[in-house]
Amino acid sequence: MEILGYLAAALIGISLGLIGGGGSILTVPVMVYLFGLNPLLATSYSLFIVGSTSLIGAVNNYRNGLVNTKAVFFFGSASIVTVFITRKFIVPVIPENIAVINGFTITWSFLTMALFGILMLLASVSMIRDSKSSAPEKECPECIKFFKLLGYGITIGVVTGLLGAGGGFLLIPVLIYLIKLPVKKAIGTSLMIIALNSLIGFTGDLGHILIDWTFLLKITMIAITGIIIGGSINNKVSSDKLKKGFGWFVLVMGIYIILKEVIR
């Protein structure tokens, strides 16, 4: 199982490098099902792995002029505060046993993975759908307004904080359709926002969770290698076709996780 986990860690990085998102949605399931971590610890590790990996990709995109810093500031200022508050103050006080319905105990671990399965289904639809068909070719600076992005930033912050997912599948459609960024710039901007959200969210866990730094850094380095590989072949392959194929894979995995958690 561990070998599959290491391969999956590389896949997470490659997908982030190729399509700017999607791979992070696999991090928590990989930590839980392949490495045997509990969901709370898995979400914490996911924040560090996804944040560090996305930062490498974001820096490369920034050097190539593919990051809209205004969008990062407006979007990130709302989501960063939200994700930190969620990890620092909300997650630590959530009880493990939340409710009992007809003799079935709903635990926080169960709810985390069930929500993750649903999130994966939503992500798969976003990835399978053709995002390039109506994507703008030029930027629209006047479309980037703080209050226009405030609600979306808070939503991304809550999702990232509770589930440890970067939210690239939510970010990219917003960046493309709401503020009219071209696809490649939307990918670079998404990676920068994901990096900031995830890493700052992880700092909220420090002091609450015992971290195995040797294991965490090992997985992170594998994922970073993956994003470097993904970024290097980004212009040599059809990222849209890869995105759709990966979307179908995420769809199957999402269904599997929901069935595994419900039928147990």
Could you write out the three-class secondary structure of the chain? CHHHHHHHHHHHHHHHHHHCCCHHHHHHHHHHHHCCCCHHHHHHHHHHHHHHHHHHHHHHHHHCCCCCHHHHHHHHHHHHHHHHHHHHHHHHHCCCEEEEECCEEEEHHHHHHHHHHHHHHHHHHHHHCCCCCCCCCCCCHHHCCHHHHHHHHHHHHHHHHHHCCCCHHHHHHHHHHHCCCCHHHHHHHHHHHHHHHHHHHHHCCECCECCCHHHHHHHHHHHHHHHHHHHHCCCCCCHHHHHHHHHHHHHHHHHHHHHHHHCC
Question: For the chain (length 264 residues), average pLDDT per consecutive 10?
Answer: 87 76 78 93 94 89 92 90 94 92 88 90 80 64 81 90 81 84 86 92 91 96 88 69 79 90 79
> Tens digit of pLDDT for each residue in 179-235?
888 888 888 898 899 999 999 999 999 988 899 999 999 999 999 998 888 877 766
Task: Give this prediction's pTM.
Answer: 0.89
Residue 67's domain comprises 2-262
The total of structural domains in the chain comes to 1
